[in-house]
Chain A
Amino acid sequence: MSFVSKLQMSAAAGALVAAFAVSPAAAERARFEFWYGLTGDLGERVQETCKRFNDSQQEFEAVCVGQGGYPNAVQNAIAAYRAGKQPTIVQVYDGGTLDLMLSGAYVPARKLMADNGYEVKWDDYFSGIANYYATAKGELLSFPYNSSTAMLYWNRDAFAKIGRDKAPATWEEVEEVARELKKAGYECPLGFNFDTWQILEQFSAIHGEPIATKNNGYDGLDAEVVFNKTKFVDHVKFFKRMADEGVFTVRTKEAGMDIVPSFASGACQMIQTSIADHGTIGKTAAADMKWDVAMLPVWNGTERKNSLVGGASLWVLAGKSEPEYKGAAAFLKFIGTPESAEWWSTVTGYIPVTNSGFEAMKAKGFYDKAPYKGRELAIESLTFTPTTPITRGIRLGGFMQIRKEVTDALQGIFAGKVGVEEALNEAAERSNAVLRRFEKTYAGKSLL
């Protein structure tokens, strides 16, 4: 026997409003919640996705709730999960992946689909994308969603002025081109910021350099960072030298001119940024400006490897009801269809995550003309080689804090306050402290 005293002070008012909001037909559908972190224009696109899904069938209703940013989405999902009010699906960015993986608070992607009778060709996902969210053995745990990788953007008009019509493939060439551009009067031949994603993470992947031991952390929580002992150190020294000579220029949003608007407005002639910015630059650059993308340069003599995926994936949380999981599975199936992939790539700058999606779009001529031409290079970059143990991704605890340590170090270096080696050694030492703390928090747990 149970005595429950319910104080629902707002129940009457709530019911009244609800009566207007929900039509009878919709009420019969099985509802499930999806919390996402994307904001702005991209948040709108997520809402459209939900609407497309809800219009496509009668059985389920996705209730999509924007959380106002990636960190908020994770944070709120944690708070809700601990109070037993979690959504069925949540969008989690790379920084939150490992905590969730170790938590057991989720339903693995394969299990969800198998339980609900969907067959998914898991090897259809690009391995460079799938492995980022998979166990060391390659079993995908969450659903890759908004995915991108970093590219080199270059201004064709400026290059033409110095008699070039090709993007530089090596950093040696970049230096040459940048110096020529500088001589030709351009103030910012290459603009960069202190985001570690391009300069550390993507750089290390395509050069086959580790960021941490234990295969970038995939093989154990006792990994240690090694970025202070790899090619990355020389790369930063190179950037520092170029910046001191005024050939490369710092362009941060803190200074009111981040790299993307700097490139789009023609102020900078080369930048490294996400393929997701391709659409943005297309829409914000002057109509007559000619520009293009290329794979990130490598140092001469490097055997290029695949680049890393960026973005976020969708996790299905544990502790929900059968109908909610059914709905979630249907939704995830829906966004995995080639039609959805194409629509998503059309309205955002993100890339398709499966081979079949990409092939279907290619076959339809999606990449043949502007404004989408060039985006196929992102797939080429992601799939340049099969993933190696250190180009699968980065699996480090407290990764957001580690990124901040490296960013701090870079800021110190480019302000001329500390030497490159000294700063990176300190960042590595501090990062290792973060890792040890994380390891201790999850003592007794091990990676799958």
Chain B
Amino acid sequence: MEKRAVFRAGSLAYLLILPQLLLVFVFFYWPTGAALYWAFTLEMPWGGGNQWVGLENFTAVLKDGKYWSSVVASCVFAFAATALALAQALVLALFVDRQLRGSRGFRSFYVWPYAVAAPAVSLAFRFIFAPETGLVAFVNQWWPGLWNPSINGAQAMALVVLCFAWKWIGYNFIFLLAALQSIPRALMEASAMDGAGPLRRMLDIQLPLLTPTFFFLLVINLTESFVGPDSFGIVDILTEGGPANATNLLVYKIYSDGFKGLDYSGAAAQSIILMLLVMVLTFIQFRWVERRVHYK
């Protein structure tokens, strides 16, 4: 996507982007370069040297069957959580934007989840979804053993997906609402005059005009659910990657191998693979999904 009308590129263009590039270089690329170097070595955590091992760290990771099950778990988690978080937020934003009486009151609550700290959310989810004592315990009264995320991997996955999606409702909601509100009122009114009902207007006018924001959120949500701190924060508190690796997301595996297990080199190799994966995914989104985005 390119703009037709642009200004002549002069030193101003570079000057404008310079602060951001400088920050990114100093605080991201420089340290990341050091961390990624470890992927090709075996690094002693406290310093004191390392030895070059070439691609050995990568082959070790890629040969590991459990790593591949983590890849699958990560993909399931990312797509499910993104879909759920976006769908919830979209519905809420569209309806709040109808601006019926009282909707202002509602909308301030919908941003809350993003403001709640992870330990509080996770603890709350743990209690609400506790198989024998939580709010969903009644399903186990009808059918004993039906719901138990501490044993059942698929249910554990559902739980972390729900928790992530809940936390990201607020984020998605606020951007979607902002986008909805920058749609000119005149456009909506004209359509109403033509006899289009509210649902029609949502589908025909608002949704197409939302696509740039929606694309932004899609990319951000997917990226965050693959590599974001919320993902491993939630997994760390709710399931610790279990049961039996069912929720051992790639980002959590990196965190537990590197951060807890002090295997810096293994974690670095896994990070590179994960980064490549997310980059490919993002590239696909820009290449294919963005074509369907209506910028004007």
- Grouping DSSP codes into helix (H, G, I), strand (E, B) and loop, the A interface class, with mixed when no group exceeds half, is helix
Which residues on the B side are within 8 Å of A103 (C-beta)?
Answer: 44-48
Contact flag A74-B262 (CB < 8 Å), given A250-B150, A255-B132: yes
Any B CB within 8 A of the CB of A51: no
Is B156 engaged at the interface, CB distance under 8 Å to the other chain?
yes
Alpha-carbon distance A411/B46, docked complex (angstroms): 33
Quick check: which of B78-86, B187-195, B241-249 contacts chain A, the rest being far away?
Answer: B241-249
Tell me if B224 is interfacial: C-beta within 8 Å of chain A.
no
The answer to whether B131 touches A415 (Cβ under 8 A) is: no
Residues of A within 8 A of B149 (CB): 254-255
- A141-149, A371-379, A397-405 - the one binding chain B: A397-405
Contact B260 A71, beta carbon cutoff 8 Å: yes
With A256-B131, A404-B256, A408-B242 as contacts: A82 and B46 at CB distance below 8 Å: yes
* B202 beta carbon closer than 8 Å to chain A: no
**A100-B47 Cα distance, complex, nearest whole Å:** 10
Query: How many angstroms from the CA of A412 to the CA of B245 in the assembled complex?
Result: 9
Is B201 part of the contact surface with A, judged by Cβ < 8 Å?
Answer: no
Q: How far is the CA of A78 from the CA of B46 in the complex (A)?
A: 6
Is B245's CB under 8 angstroms from A256's CB?
A: no
Given A100-B46, A103-B44, A400-B261; A257-B133 close (CB under 8 Å) = yes
Whole-angstrom distance from the CB of B213 to the nearest CB of chain A? 35
CB distance B259 to A255 under 8 Å? Answer: no
Q: Please give, as numbers and ranges, the residues of chain A lying within 8 Å of B152 by CB-CB distance.
A: 415
Query: How many chain B residues touch A (Cβ–Cβ < 8 Å)?
Result: 43
In the complex, A12 has a CB within 8 A of chain B: no
Chain A contacts of B60 at CB under 8 A? Answer: 437
Q: Using a CB-CB cutoff of 8 Å, which residues 79-107 of chain A contact chain B?
A: 81-82, 95-96, 99-100, 102-105
Stretch of A327-335, A348-356, A438-446 contacting B (4+ beta carbons < 8 Å): A438-446
Cα A82 to Cα B241 in complex, Å, equals 30
Q: List which A378-432 residues lie within 8 A (CB) of chain B.
A: 398, 400-401, 404, 407-409, 411-412, 414-415, 417, 430
A residues in contact (CB < 8 Å) with B: 71, 74-75, 78, 81-82, 95-96, 99-100, 102-105, 194, 250, 252-257, 398, 400-401, 404, 407-409, 411-412, 414-415, 417, 430, 434, 437-438, 440-443
* Interface pairs A-B: 3 shortest CB-CB: A256-B130, A103-B46, A255-B150
Of the A-B pairs whose beta carbons lie under 8 Å apart in the complex, a sample of 14, sorted by A's number, is A75-B259, A82-B46, A103-B47, A104-B48, A194-B242, A253-B126, A254-B240, A255-B131, A398-B262, A404-B241, A411-B244, A415-B153, A415-B243, A440-B42
Using a CB–CB distance below 8 Å, which chain B residues touch chain A? 42-48, 50-51, 60, 66, 126-127, 129-134, 148-153, 156, 238-245, 256-257, 259-263, 265-266
